[in-house]
Amino acid sequence: MKRTLRWAIVGLMLVVVTLLAGNHPLATAQDMGAKPGAKTTGYASKKPIYGGACKTCPWGAMAEIVKSAMEFYGYDIQICYVCAGGPREARMVAGAMKAGPPRPAANLPPTPDGPIDFGSTTPHFLWWAYQGVHDFAKDPEGPRKDLRLVANIQEPTYLITAVRADSAITDLHQILEKRMPVQIMASTGIGGLVTTSILDYFGLTKEKMKGLGGDLRTETGPENRKGLDVVIGFASLTNAPEYNMWYETSQKYDLRYIELPKDLRTKLEKEFDMEEVNIPVGLLRGIDKPILTAARTGNAVYGRTDMPDDFAYTLAKALDEHQDLLQWSHMNFSYNWRTVWKAFGVPLHPGAARYYKEKGYMK
């Protein structure tokens, strides 16, 4: 009897010790020493929230790579897959906006609960947000001077204009001059200011095209890709929502690709921080010779001045040491040590700068 009692006492003590150690499945965060109401996301918990986009979107694809790379260093990055939408992503990161309560959205994983700590965007949006220009010019917050770059991964996209191969169009000015009732699809989503500038240059509006018996569509979904005569927008041969219209149109139609006028290209390059390059032969079906165009590159991983130096250092290191992850994305990502620490005039986070200096990438 005494022996049975003694073993019962020992068993009870083991249960108590296990609970206090936090190893029992019923143990709570408070049992393990956490204060009531303690955050379960953020840098301190090694679960910072990343403002990304859908899994097939460029910023979402980069989010997946960052998550995988940081797992080697003990971090569990929480991805918000619905924290994009053009310049909205930069606004959300800059303002440490709350990602929202866990909820399903468009068949994506639940949204993490808490403020966004860092994220991805184009270096152009990052630079414009930092200056408070273009898409951010009318924001009451003004320039977001607390933004800091960690890494800029190469991701080229080309501005392309194409017409049906059997069309008489050799210059988009002819559409209004010859009163052509054509069907135009011009992407005004990501990079919409650039496409809008092209339409303005040629005087093309929805009202004018309707008056000619044609149309101007600015949405690029499958329902808007029928009966097209002219296609305008950024292109990259990837199945991302921003570019996949070219998958279909370049296969469905025989296209002839038009070089934009030199003065327009110069305007776009100067005003929107783009560069002049050749569209590579074979990028899309029908491109059989180099075509000069304005282009941009970059997928910027960035945060704010409140990002801990050690985290920024580790993030820069992770993306460098695990460059192999880039090749397995559906995006055209590549790492260039000469440019990874540059995004126009956006300041580099001091933690990231320490890593790049140690590696000799920057002086």
Judging by beta carbons within 10 Å of its beta carbon (0-12, 13-18, 19+), is residue 35 exposed, middle or buried?
Answer: exposed
pLDDT at 101: 58
Q: Is 298 left (phi over 0), alpha (psi -120 to 50) or beta?
A: left
Q: Are 158 and 297 in contact (CB under 8 A)?
A: no
149 Cβ contact partners less than 8 Å away, ≥ 6 residues apart: 123, 126, 300, 301, 302, 341, 342, 343, 346, 347, 348, 349, 352
Domain count, the chain: 2
pLDDT at 363: 84
pLDDT at 98: 87
- Residue 35 maps to a domain: no
Same domain? 165 vs 290: yes
- Residue 274 maps to a domain: yes
Q: Is the pLDDT of residue 34 over 90?
A: no
Give the domain range for residue 117: 49-155+298-359
Same domain? 196 vs 320: no
Q: Is the pLDDT of residue 138 over 70?
A: yes
pLDDT at 161: 97
Domain boundary among 263, 296, 329: 296
pLDDT at 229: 96
Torsion on CA atoms 137, 142, 147, 153, rounded to nearest 10: 0
pLDDT at 346: 98
pLDDT at 37: 40
pLDDT confidence bin for 1, thresholds 50/70/90:
very low
- Residue 8 maps to a domain: no
pLDDT at 102: 53
Same domain? 274 vs 332: no
pLDDT confidence bin for 247, thresholds 50/70/90:
confident
Q: Are 185 and 222 in contact (CB under 8 A)?
A: no
pLDDT at 285: 95
List beta partners, residue 302. Answer: 119, 149
Q: Compute the average pLDDT of residues 138-147.
A: 97
Domain boundary among 276, 296, 316: 296
pLDDT at 99: 77
CB atoms inside a 10 Å sphere around CB 338: 8
**Segments in 214-342 forming alpha helices (H):** 245-252, 262-271, 309-321
pLDDT at 191: 66
Say what the pTM is.
0.86
Name which residue leads in pLDDT, 103 or 197. Answer: 197
- Residue 31 maps to a domain: no
- Residue 327 maps to a domain: yes
Percent of the chain with pLDDT over 90: 78
- Residue 2 maps to a domain: no
pLDDT confidence bin for 188, thresholds 50/70/90:
confident
pLDDT at 192: 85
- Residue 13 maps to a domain: no
Q: Is the pLDDT of residue 359 over 90?
A: yes
For all residues of the chain together, what is the average pLDDT?
88
Q: Look up residue 19 and give its DSSP letter.
A: H
- Residue 242 maps to a domain: yes
* Phi, psi (rounded to 5 degrees) for 147: -75, 140
Lowest mean per-residue pLDDT among 29-43, 52-66, 201-215, 273-287: 29-43
Same domain? 142 vs 227: no
Same domain? 87 vs 162: no
Same domain? 171 vs 282: yes
Same domain? 227 vs 332: no
Q: Is the pLDDT of residue 17 over 70?
A: no
Domain boundary among 252, 273, 296: 296
Q: Is the pLDDT of residue 79 over 90?
A: yes
Same domain? 169 vs 204: yes
Q: Is the pLDDT of residue 335 over 60?
A: yes
Q: Look up residue 189 and give its DSSP letter.
A: S
Q: Compute the average pLDDT of residues 143-149.
A: 98
